[in-house]
Amino acid sequence: MTTYAEILNAALSLPPQEREELAETLWDSVGDEAATQPPKLSAAWEKELARRSAEIDAGTAKYVTYEQMVQRARRAAGYDD
């Protein structure tokens, strides 16, 4: 029986084009399963999502536009606008 590590090592030894094709084939084989299963979140993220949801429900959340969010992220990353 072939192990995950053996398959991974064999796949990584393929040329880039074949690795890309393999990745696409594997992703396609997952099909709708990936889209229907929610991501597994840590307890800390679950708590944070509950907090944010409660703020939205209470009307106390402060919204920002997409442009404002990008500007803040660029500033935090050290890029000047």
Token pair 């803040």 is at which residue? Answer: 72
Which of 35, 51, 55 is closest to 43 using CA atoms?
51
CA 79 to chain centre: 23
Question: pLDDT tens for residues 20-69?
Answer: 999 999 988 887 666 677 778 999 999 999 999 999 999 999 899 999 99
Under 8 Å CB-to-CB from 53, ≥6 apart: which residues? none
pLDDT at 29: 86
Which residues does 12 contact at the CB level (< 8 Å), separation at least 6? 19
Q: Which two tokens stand for residue 14?
A: 């393929």
